[in-house]
Every structure is written in C-alpha cells, then in structure tokens.
Structure 1
Amino acid sequence: MAVYSVIIGSGKYIPDVVIKNEDFLKKSFINEKGEKIPKTNEEIIRKFQEITDIQERRYLKPEYNTSDMGYFAAKEAIETAKIDPETIDYIIFAHNFGDILHNNQKSDLVPALASRAKHMLKIQNPDCVAYDLPFGCPGWVQGIIQADYYIKSGDAKRVLVIGAENLSRIADPHDIDSMIYSDGAGAVIVEARESDKPIGIICHKTRSDTYSEAHFLKMDISYYPEYEDNTLFMKMNGRKLYEYALNTVPGLVAETIKKAGISIHDIKKVLIHQANAKMDEAIIQRVFKIFGLEAMDSKSIMPMTISKLGNNSVATVPILYDMIIRGEMPGHSIHSGDYLVFASVGAGMNVNTFVYRVP
C-alpha cells in the first residue's frame, strides 16, 4: 500500500465586522495619477459590484491580529480532527504581511506567525517545526503541497496548514481596489494514511512567472498626494493580473487533472481563489473548453463566497473547503470518492493547483 496525504480536520475564522458596499459611499477615490476619479461613488460602486460580485466583506476587530485568526482556525481544525496537538510534526502558516496593528500599518514578522500560533496552541513538542510561507494568495495551497512532500518523504505524519490574512489594514483607503480586500483565516490538519487505492492528494503543480510579471502586485504609497505619511499599501495592476490569470490558471488546472489520470467529468468541485467573480467564471469556462466542452454551467462545480466574504487572500480556499464540509454552502456537499480541484493565483506571480480525492 502507498502513503497518501489526507485532510482529517478543518477550521476557519471569519471576522464579525461586516462592511457593505454602501459603506464606501463617502470615500474619496483617487487614481494612480493622484487625481480624483471623475465619477460619482454610486457609479464606481455599482460598476465594482457588477465586475467582482462583491457586496460585502469582513474586517477584523481592532483587538485581534492575523496570528490570532490563524490560531482560532487552527484550534478548530485540531478539535475537528480529534487529535493531540503534540503529535503535529509541522505548522505551516501562509500569509503575506504578518501581524499589523490596527493603528500601526507596519508589518510585524518576528517571531514568525507560525511560532505565535504554536505558542497560543500551547504545543510544547520541540520536534513540531513551525514556519511561515509568504507566497501571495496561493500560499495556503502551496502549504498543502509542501505538507504532501513531507508526508510522502516519511518526514511527517501530521501537518497543520494555516492560511490567514488581514488585507483591510494594508489597503489604501483612496484606492478603488480597497473594496476588494477582506480578512479571515482557514486551517486544516493533513495526515499520512496508507491505502491500496489513490486517496487524498493525488497530484499537484505550481508555476512562478517573474520575468515580466513579478510586480503586477506590489507595495507602494497612497494614491492620495497629501496622505499623512509614506505608509506602504498593496497595489495591483488589475488588467495585467486578470490577463495573467486567464492565460495560466486554466492550463495548469487542466494539466493537473490530466496528470491525475481522470476526466473533467470526474471533478465534483473546483475550489478556487476568489478576487473577481467574472475572472473565475472566465477561468472555469476556459478549463471546460480545453476538455472540449462549451458554455457549461459552473454553479454546481465552482462554489463562490466572494459576494459576502470578498477577497481574503490565502484564507479564501481553506474557508471555502471548511464551509462545504460543515454544510454551510447551500447546494454544495462533498462525499467520499469525490475528486476536488484546489487552485489559486496571486502575487509573485504564482499559480498552483492540486487534485484531491475525498477518502
């Protein structure tokens, strides 16, 4: 029998503070030239919702931070898995900005957020190695891929993979893109399991494009020329990012499905990172087209959370998985034997995906 990596428990943390689109009506939106955008906020918000499908997003309360969210999600995953946390061999914490105080927007990365999470979980085992993984929005998916490597090599039996991000605190309040960003955390326990048939993570694929794509997402000062200081905020070239995603994600997903030796018809769910609903729909339709299918209905295969949760970066995919597992996504469920595709794209630029068979 072969050894496979299977998910035995999951958890999430979705902040309580709900920010609706109308909450941005009084914002002053400035373009990259430092000029006020010549449209009413009503027009800007209406067009934004039409493109992204985002109606509201979640913000973290001032008293919490990214590491706190990761801890909450990890604790729930451990409880769901019904394991002793001292038996965890690795803690991989995917994020991009560390802890950011609500009144101080500088990234705090020491100690590592994985170390902070291990401390809060009260794990004493020194052989439990805790480290961070900054890899853009695909960070959590890459963490799962690394966990699979550890398990397949025999170096680990259990790995905790956390994805948490606090994007609301690194968003330029004068940038339209600030309406995309949200906060949250998701986590899973991945365990080694012997099986005479393929289960868990079947195969995976990652690519990084940096020659001309590295700075589609970057840090820069506010668009507002008279902003009070030189605080760095996340900035993105939305058009270039959209084009990159459409040109890379469908092919990588199709390649991984083929590598798994299965058909597109075997895939029950595609759990994809969500920053723009129109982009995700275009991606899945291109995947269908690669397999010779035209204009398929994606609603049953690609569950979406973006309308209510926005883009919470590395947390999107694990939150989505946990919601389905717990029956919190109407019309969506996962059963033993189902094939799932997990996929993400983001800063780097990085793209990754893996095929998973539910045990």
Structure 2
Amino acid sequence: MTRTRIAATGSYLPERIMTNAELESLVDTTDAWIRERTGIAQRHIAAPGETCADLARAAGQAALDAAGLAPTDVDLIVLATSTPDQVFPSTACRVQERLDVPAGAIAFDVAAACSGFVYALDVADRFIRTGGARRALVIGAETFSRILDWSDRSTCVLFGDGAGAVVLEAAESPGVYSTHLHADGRQESLLNVPWGVSQGYELLEGSRGKVSMRGNEVFKVAVRTLGAVVDETLAANGMSRADVDWLIPHQANIRIMAATARKLQLPMEQVVSTVEWHGNTSAASIPLALDVAVRDGRIQRGQVLLLEAFGAGFTWGSALIRY
C-alpha cells in the first residue's frame, strides 16, 4: 500500500513584529492581561501590499529547499487559508505561478479556518495514497490582520500573519498514519466573519467583514472536541498516549493547548508551542510550529507527532504522523 511521508517543512513570517505594548495604544489592554489569558507576547503583521500568496510562496520555497527538490517535482498544491488574495483564481494557483510549478499540476484552496492545514493535509494524503499525485506541497497561509477589528480587544490581540508548508511524498511505510476531520455548522454564530461576496459587495457600517468571536463559548467547545478527537485518533491506530512524542496543536491560546496536553497526560515540554511569538496564525499555525521544532532539532525522524486543530465552522481535526 502506498503511504505518505513528510519529506520536509518550511515557513515564513512577515518582517514587522507587533508587540503587546503596541496594542496597549490601540485598545484597552495590557501586556500582562494578554500574556495571562493567551500566552501571546507578539505577532507578525504582513506589510502593505504583502499578500497571502507572497507568504505562501516563501514558505513553500523553504520547504522545497529543505527537501532538495525543484518546483518541477511538485504535481499538487493544496493551500489552506481564510484570507485568500482574491475570489479567484485560488491562492494556490497564484503560488503555482510564482514558484514556477509546471502547468498541468493540480492546485486549489481549502477553507476550514484554523483547522485548514489539517484538512489540506488529509486531502493531499488521499491524493498520494490513491495515485492521484506523487508529491504535494501543502501550505497553510494567512494575512489574518486584514480581517481584524483593531478596536475589539477580544480578537485583535490574538491573531497574526504567517505561512507554513510541508512537502508530502509517497512512501512504503508511515508517514501519515491517519487523519480525522469533523465539522458542525450549527455553531457558526460563535466564530465567524459575517460578510461574503454572495451577501453583497458593500460592507455595512460597524464590524461587518471582521472577525466576530464569543471567546468563552468557543473555548469550552474547543477543549471538549479536541479531547474527543485525540481519543479517536489514538484508538484508530491502536496507540496509547505514551506512544506520542510530540503534540503540535493549533496555536489558538496557551490555555486550550494546556488543556489538550492534560487530556493526553503529556507534560508541556512535549507540546510544541510558538503562540508566544506568533500569536494565532489560523491555518498557518500548525505548519509554522512544526517547522520551528524540526529546524531547532526537537523533532527527530522516527518520532510520533499528533497534530490537532479547531476552528470556525466549527471545524476540527487531527493527524497522527511518524515523522
């Protein structure tokens, strides 16, 4: 049976850093308040004119370089984002052009909010397992600062911009053991951006077109569903918590990450956390964290990784991988 392995990782962060101290001048907040409730100290913000495709291209190129591959080696690009460059073509197609991936390759976007990278990984894994592709570039990229209401302290302190990528390729042994995806559209009102093209081209006054979140309610659902998907994932593979070397969660905030670690009975030393320096980068957060831990040497070949995410939709999912 054809399986899928991660050949390499890559990431990119915009140059500009926004600290909590800078946010103190925008909204009624403090560095201590933000750190205590979220674990975030700073976040990166895309420059004017710097788009999601720019971030994604840089992360994708870094992953290809790490794998020792050329763009001609890629025949599938799956890009997860909630902040695409435009309605169409897809941001993945724009990345294809900028990386000079050959015409005829498959390229498309996936929209699953903060769960987007896990969804994209699942899709690419299925392409490779069924022979639809031989090598895939899977990217999570966001310019989330463009949809923030900078007067809403409940959301603007949380998010940042960035991109992460992995190269997936066919292998004879795992690799990706399994992925598990779920959604519940009934809870849309708790976390959304209440505007879209088919609802009208003109933004109304107020926060329409910006992130709206009922944080306490989202937190409760996230902790419950992430705990369940962790159990589901381990049971599907006949593994126990002791088999997991690293938990790489969506970097929503430190409290949700710590709650998931407790569910796994993992010490925080086995949780890859970049939320302090990146904030919540939505679909980019897991591949960003993965790349950081690969490049600093924490994650080694042969170790078992558990990826899990929760996002608007609601969507949630996991992937169990032997790196």
What range describes the TM-score normalised by the shorter chain of this pair? over 0.9
Q: Counterpart in 2 of 1:304?
A: 273
Instruction: Give the one of 147, 163, 171 matched to 1:185.
Output: 163
1:50 aligned partner:
36
Supply the distance in 1 between the matched residues of 2:107 and 2:315 (Cα, whole angstroms). 23
- Structure 2: distance between partners of 1:275 and 1:150: 29
1:300 is aligned with what amino acid?
E
Aligned ranges 1:136-151 → 2 under 5 Å: 136-151=113-128
Distance 2:194 2:236 in 1: 39
Q: Is the 8 A contact 2:3 2:175 kept in 1?
A: yes
- Report the Cα distance in structure 2 between the residues aligned to 1:179 and 1:83, rounded to whole angstroms: 38
Matches of 1:305 and 1:91 in 2, distance apart?
25
SS of residue in 1 equivalent to 2:185: coil
CA RMSD in angstroms comes to 1.7
The answer to whether structure 1 residue 115 and structure 2 residue 93 are counterparts is yes
> In the alignment, is residue 166 of structure 1 matched against residue 135 of structure 2?
no
1:6 aligned partner: 5
2:81–2:113 Cα contact (<8 Å) kept:
yes
Q: d(CA) in 1 for partners of 2:168 and 2:93?
A: 19
Partner of 2:198: none
Of residues 300, 307, 325, the one that matches 2:294 is 325
Listed one character per residue, the Cα deviations across residues 140-194 of structure 1 (whole Å, up to 9, x for unaligned) are 1111111111111111111111110011111001101101010000011100012
> 1:32 aligns to what?
none
Aligned to 1:203: 178
Deviation at 1:230, TM superposition (A): 6.7
Equivalent residues, number: 314
User: Partner of 1:18 in structure 2?
Assistant: 17
| Pairwise CA distance, 1:28 | 4.2
CA distance, structure 1, for counterparts of residue 317 and residue 97 of structure 2? 30
1:347 to 294, 298, 312: 312
- The structure where helix makes up a greater share of residues is 2
**Does 2:214 align with 1:218?**
no
Match of 1:64 in 2: 50
Q: TM-score, normalised by structure 2?
A: 0.93
Give the letter for the 2:276 counterpart: S
Partner of 1:83: 69
Question: 1:316: which partner in 2?
Answer: 285
Structure label with greater radius of gyration: 1
* 2:217 paired with 1:240: yes
> What's the TM-score, normalizing by structure 1?
0.84
* Distance in 2 between residues matched to 1:122 and 1:303, nearest whole Å: 32
- Once the 2 structures are TM-superposed, how far is the Cα of residue 87 of structure 1 from its aligned partner? 2.8
Question: Quick one: structure 1 residues 24 and 230, their matched pair in 2 at CA, closer, same or farther if it must change by over 3 Å?
Answer: closer
Displacement after TM superposition at 1:215 (Å): 2.4
Q: For residue 118 of structure 1, what is the amino acid of its counterpart?
A: Q
Which structure 2 segments of 5+ residues have no match?
Answer: 196-203
Q: CA separation in 2, counterparts of 1:320 and 1:350? A: 20
8 Å Cα contact 1:92/1:143 also seen in 2: yes
Match of 1:259 in 2: 236
* Secondary structure at the counterpart of residue 300 of structure 1: helix
Distance 1:231 1:255 in 2: 37
* Paired residues of 1:245 and 1:283 also in contact (CA < 8 A): no
- Structure 1: any 5+ residue segments left out of the alignment? 30-40, 100-107, 222-226, 289-295
1:241 Cα offset (Å): 0.7
Q: Are the equivalent residues in 2 in contact too, given 1:250–1:284 (CA < 8 A)?
A: no
Q: Does 1:286 align with 2:263?
A: yes
Q: Deviations over 1:56-102 (max 9, x none)?
A: 11111113111100000011111111223223221101101212xxx
Are residues 114 and 252 of structure 1, via their aligned partners in 2, closer, same or farther at CA, if it must alter by over 3 Å? same
Segments of 4+ moved more than 6 angstroms = 227-230
Amino acid at match of 1:89: D
8 Å Cα contact 1:171-1:234 kept in structure 2: yes
Partner of 1:336: 301
In 2, are the aligned partners of 1:251 and 1:287 still within 8 Å (CA)?
no
Does the C-alpha gap of structure 1 residues 229 and 214 become closer, same or farther in structure 2, counting only changes over 3 Å? closer
SS where residue 260 of structure 2 aligns?
helix
Encode CA deviations 1:306-338: one digit per residue, 9 max, x unaligned: 1111011111100111111111xxxx6122321
Pairwise CA distance, 1:240: 1.3
CA offsets 1:94-137 (integer angstroms, 9 cap, x no match): 101212xxxxxxxx2221100100010112331x1110111111
Residues 153/232 of structure 1: CA separation in 2 closer, same or farther (3 Å cut): same
What is the letter of the counterpart of residue 136 of structure 2? V
Contact 2:77/2:106 (<8 A) preserved: yes
Identity of aligned residues (%): 28
User: 1:86–1:125: 8 Å Cα contact kept in structure 2?
Assistant: no
